[in-house]
Amino acid sequence: MFKLLTKLGLDKYADSRTSAPAAQAEKTAEIRLVFGNAKDAKAALVPDSPIYLRLLNESALLTDVLFLHDRKVFSVHDAAPLVEDLLRVILAGTYPLYAADSKALWRYAFSHEITMAPPVFDFSLAAYLLNPNAASYSIKETALAYSVPLPAFPESEGSETDPMLLSETACLEVLHKRLSGNLEANEQTALLTGIEMPLAKVLASMELAGMEVSRKQIEDYSVVLSKEIDTLQQEIYDLAGETFNIQSPKQLGVILFEKLGLPGKKKTKTGYSTNADVLEDLRYDYPIVEKILSYRAYAKLKSTYCEGLLKAIAEDGRIHSTFNQTETRTGRLSSTEPNLQNIPVRTELGREFRKFFVAKNGCDIVDADYSQIELRVLAALSDDQTMIDCFNEGIDIHTSTAAKVFGIPEENVTSELRSRAKAVNFGIVYGIGAFSLAKDIHVTRAEAEKFIKAYLALYSSVDAYMEHSIQEAKEKGYAVTLFNRRRYLPELSSSNHMLRSFGERVARNMPIQGTAADIIKIAMVKVFKDLEGLKSRLILQVHDELIIETAAGEEAQVEKLLKDCMENAVKLSVDLVADLGRGASWYDLK
């Protein structure tokens, strides 16, 4: 990979945050290996001495733990109850704790009802903040990236521990010094200790809590979708005049562009292109295309969501998604197994799935959604007084923009004009060009260019801010959020025009989207803390929305604290607004 970076001329960015010659790396000599049981490991603990901890292979019967302490690497493979007793001592706060993955430790502590003190440091989160472009945040890869030596340990008789795991654990003290030094130089220590590490505790709790789902409703909906799929399949066969595999792009291309002679065919190496862009241009003129697109939509809902969600339901009747803190380059959270942030909401057919996510008996779901947070962040970062005043006076930003851009009174703004203004408002955040805007709002490119120019004239500070963001990113090599989250942009120095253009779009967007992501993380930590002592619990975050499963009798209190925490997460020149909802299911909230 590093050879490729050198070839492309991007190597100066690859390690610009980490460069320290291997010859200058601190030595990890004189670290001894200790293989033993949990009882002996506990007896060997030295008061006030740091512990660098990794939890491995947790199960109901046996648990593996590795930790560096007092210049020794302890490898403990023992019965789960005995290891639990050891971890109760380690996690209690007597020893400064440096975690390879603090979220995993919080999950363990919560699930075993262990009182855990917050760790001092988290290696994976620190590595992520220093380089969100990295492919991996494993100890091994991070040590190599920061020129920290991995001492070689021979395989030992009577130990099943991988020697590489031992080597990785042995380097943690030196690696911590390197990472913390870089964080300090980047002014990112507060981002780690004040936002990301407290959030790991919140996410661990949310993963364990999960969200209740109705298996029967999902199964019933799957039957409905199957019937619709069968009906559409037969209608497609009738229009085509023969049966064929609708899921096969090759067979579908032959039917559409050879047998039926539809226009707009695009030949590829494997046949005709039948992707969504090609078919969308034909859907309103040819009934068979409309039915094919509907068939695909129903089939995806059935396979990806019905079948996928049914497989993900745990024994407790809830879905426990995994929240990823180190996945995106902008700082946003993502979720997997399943991806609850990708539950469809754009169509009524897709929104049906939110009906299946319900509150447990005796509870309601309360949620709050930030209103236009990225536009509000843009107004604050650009210090555009026109936009700031619009938000702080409670004026509808899209209606106001349409009125000013099109030169008409606000009461004369039609829904179509408002939609066009909305597309420009949000498009500007993502660096939209005239070509893309014209396609989105169905106007000519000349008209789209006119809209964009009028918009930037209205919000002149936004235009200046966008240009400044690009120039600053080119000078520094990265874009940065209000809270010093960085995204490195080697694309800005590329000789390839498309890569440079991509880098410029990211330089405009990342400070906005990343700051919005930081704000909701801060809000999550505040909400979690304020829920302490209540039966209600935070269970889900989706983009700009937080969801709390709220116990009976706590609804009013939860609504107030949720709105307060979100709207007062940070102090900006623009008011933050969170819209509340309450219902028996996720669907009922809107």
Q: Please report the DSSP string for 176-206 in residue order.
A: HHHHHHHHHHTT-HHHIIIIIHHHHHHHHHH
Taking the C-alpha atoms of residue 549 and residue 89, their distance in angstroms, rounded to an integer, is: 32
Name the nearest CA neighbour of 525 among 586, 570, 480, 575: 570
Instruction: Answer whether the bond into residue 338 is a cis peptide, omega within 30°.
Output: yes
Q: Which tokens go with 475?
A: 């000078």
- Residue 67 predicted with pLDDT over 90: yes
Taking the C-alpha atoms of residue 410 and residue 399, their distance in angstroms, rounded to an integer, is: 6
Asked whether the beta carbons of 59 and 109 are under 8 A apart, the reply is no
Neighbours of 412 (CB within 10 A): 10
- Residue 25 predicted with pLDDT over 50: no
Q: Please report the DSSP string for 234-285 in residue order.
A: HHHHHHHTS---TT-HHHHHIIIIIIS--S---EETTEE---HHHHHTTTTT
Taking the C-alpha atoms of residue 13 and residue 11, their distance in angstroms, rounded to an integer, is: 5
Name the nearest CA neighbour of 470 among 433, 508, 432, 500: 508
* 176-179-180 Cα angle (round to 5): 80
Question: Which helix (H) or strand (E) is 264 found in, with range?
Answer: none
Bridge partners, residue 248, by sequence? none
Question: Class of 215-312 per CATH?
Answer: mainly alpha
* 439-442-444 Cα angle (round to 5): 80
Least confident segment among 231-245, 269-283, 469-483:
269-283
- Residue 20 predicted with pLDDT over 70: no
Identify the CATH number of the domain defined by range 376-511. 1.10.150.20
Query: End-to-end alpha-carbon separation of the chain, Å?
Result: 47
Asked whether the beta carbons of 413 and 402 are under 8 A apart, the reply is yes
Asked whether the beta carbons of 82 and 37 are under 8 A apart, the reply is yes
- Going from the C-alpha of 310 to that of each of 30, 269, 298, the distances in angstroms are 52, 38, 17
More confident residue, 394 or 24: 394
- Residue 273, CA atoms < 13 Å, CB-side half-sphere: 14
Neighbours of 241 (CB within 10 A): 9
More confident residue, 159 or 153: 153
Asked whether the beta carbons of 59 and 68 are under 8 A apart, the reply is no
Structure confidence at residue 352 (pLDDT)? 87
Structure confidence at residue 442 (pLDDT)? 81
Burial 1-21 (b: 16+ CB within 10 A, else e): eeeeeeeeebeebbeebbeee
Mean pLDDT of 390-398: 93
Taking the C-alpha atoms of residue 377 and residue 342, their distance in angstroms, rounded to an integer, is: 24
Place of tokens 């390839």: 496
- Quickly state the pLDDT bin for 4 (edges 50, 70, 90): very low
- Residue 436 predicted with pLDDT over 90: no
Percent of the chain whose predicted confidence (pLDDT) is above 90: 72
Taking each helix axis from N to C end, the angle separating 215-240 and 287-300, rounded to the nearest 10 degrees, works out to 160
Structure confidence at residue 232 (pLDDT)? 97
- Residue 424 predicted with pLDDT over 90: no
pLDDT in tens, 498-536: 999 999 999 999 999 999 999 999 999 999 999 999 999
Name the nearest CA neighbour of 313 among 356, 342, 354: 356
- The β-bridge relationship of strands 318-319 and 211-212 is antiparallel
Bridge partners, residue 34, by sequence? 74
Taking the C-alpha atoms of residue 360 and residue 551, their distance in angstroms, rounded to an integer, is: 9
Structure confidence at residue 5 (pLDDT)? 37
Place of tokens 């130990």: 159
- Residue 18 predicted with pLDDT over 70: no
Taking the C-alpha atoms of residue 65 and residue 113, their distance in angstroms, rounded to an integer, is: 18
Sequence length of the chain is 590
- Residue 215 predicted with pLDDT over 80: yes
Asked whether the beta carbons of 123 and 182 are under 8 A apart, the reply is no
Neighbours of 364 (CB within 10 A): 22
Asked whether the beta carbons of 32 and 71 are under 8 A apart, the reply is yes
Mean pLDDT of 441-450: 84
Averaged pLDDT score across all residues of the chain: 90
pLDDT in tens, 469-497: 999 999 999 999 999 999 999 999 999 99
What SS3 string covers 382-411?
Answer: HCCHHHHHHHHCCCCHHHHHHHHHHCCCHH
Structure confidence at residue 29 (pLDDT)? 54
Report domain extents, the chain: 17-186, 215-312, 340-373+518-589, 376-511
Mean pLDDT of 179-208: 98
Asked whether the beta carbons of 449 and 455 are under 8 A apart, the reply is no
Question: Class of 340-373+518-589 per CATH?
Answer: alpha beta
Q: Which CATH architecture has domain 17-186?
A: 2-Layer Sandwich (3.30)
Domains 17-186 and 340-373+518-589 share a fold: no
